[in-house]
Structure 1
Amino acid sequence: MTVSALCHGEGCRGGNAGGRPRRRTAGGGRLCRPCREHLDAGLGELAHLYEECGRVLGGASPGSLRERTSGGELPGLPFNGAAADVRARMISVLGSWSGLVAQQRGFAPPPRTVAGLTAFLLRNTDWLAAHPAAGEASEEIARLVRAGRRAAFPDPARTVRLGGCPEPGCPGTLALSVRAATPADGPAIVCEADPGHRWTSEQWSALSEAMGSGRAPGAPAPATERWLTAADIAQLWRTPTGTVYRLASEQRWRRQGRAGRTYYHEGDVRACFERRAAARA
């Protein structure tokens, strides 16, 4: 019989536990289920963060559907040192853990690219989650993800414009305010013409049906085609970016590329999250 023990994962150790007791491990490993899922999601997100950091290395404006309110890169100084440092750390840390797995399991080492290293580790997370160093792996991957997000999306505040306000007669545009430290109640979707027209991100599914139609949420509305990035989706539906990429692949969301960025069809995304919410209910 498998005996569970206290989790050593990043979400349960030290200050990350938020004062709650550490959870018990699952499946005979050294991580609880949430910490194990967090490890998988982090590995899945790192390859995309590596690409995003690469985009800002030359001074490209990070993110999508965003507008800087002030400032910008200085002419002649396009190199982003933070993004370069994070990319190097990703190769080093992922290479170290992949080397451990390959050595102790007798496998050939994977290609020394972030995509190759993360794919290799994802195939071996069951083994890694049961290893005595599982806690350290969980913490290092989580730190890499946080550093990658800061480097790839460095703006402390940015605006994602979503379309016309659905309130009758309102000429305003709805905007999602995204901040580095999101309040506990989540980001708000606010009309730029009338701040009283305000919704939470959890109301996005119902709101999106009415956007651009001049009708209140819940009223019949003509079809409106909108496209969102993974970062936008993660903010609107309050879900990890790694989960967004996984769902995009599994559910085969429609996508299109613009200037090197990938955008997903909002209708496909909304239908997917509505199905997930219904299944949980």
Structure 2
Amino acid sequence: MTVTALCHGEGCRGGHARRRASVGTRLCRPCRDHFAAGLAELAHLYEECGRILGGGAPGSLRERTTGGDLPGLPFNAAAADVRTRIVSVLGSWSGLVAQQRGLAAPPRTVTALTAFLLRHTDWLAAHSAAAEASEEIARLIRGGRRAAFPDRARSVRLGACPEPGCAGALAFAARAGERADGPAIVCDADPAHRWSSDRWSELSDCLDSARPAGTAGAPATERWLAGADIAQLWQVPMGTVYRLASEERWRRRNRAGRTYYNESDVRSCFSRRAARR
């Protein structure tokens, strides 16, 4: 089998200086070891995604509950898709190894497939498809990590706490992929000052009216919210956010390629919708 001098691994192909492949293989030692570690990680990601589908919190945050899983948990399509792709990809490469080496294919479980491929990592590293195997496993790991360990919270500063005598500020914990019906708006000075996101319209009116003395007539501080924040604060689908932004001509600005909408325009729009209902 003819091999090239330069490594074809995922870790080298994207870099400026590619390492030389190990003798008799198409991967350098670090890329070969990274490939093997990736195979082992896929088994862990498969289990983590399965736990999320069973009602567990993302990122290995386990909460004790009684009476079984909570009803009405949203189906996590990303976690389900990752699990399907992990089995498919591992099964495909295991089939190649088994067919070309005259071996019996392993059972189609992630544990068995992973163990089988780890035993034949050096053979795969020398195969003409080593580059494709390295790239596909790395891509699958990235997708698995995003599904199993999403960003847990992104804090959006909203303004001063409206509680009398409190000098704290409110922040909205925008949580990817989670239900937003919990106490998502919290004061940074007193954790007891917290509100569910469905009270944001009421709170934002308080923030605008509670400006310091001597600022009467001064414009309220403008707040700008991302589409995902709006969807969680007003409990609507993202499609509704984009539709209303266009129909109602919300003011917008772009930062680092991301669109933010003027909060007062958004609030006025949803207030009118609520009044009509």
Under a length normalisation based on structure 2, what TM-score does the superposition of the two structures give?
Answer: 0.50
Larger Rg: 2
**Larger RCO (CA under 8 A, 6+ residues apart):** 1
Under a length normalisation based on structure 1, what TM-score does the superposition of the two structures give?
Answer: 0.49
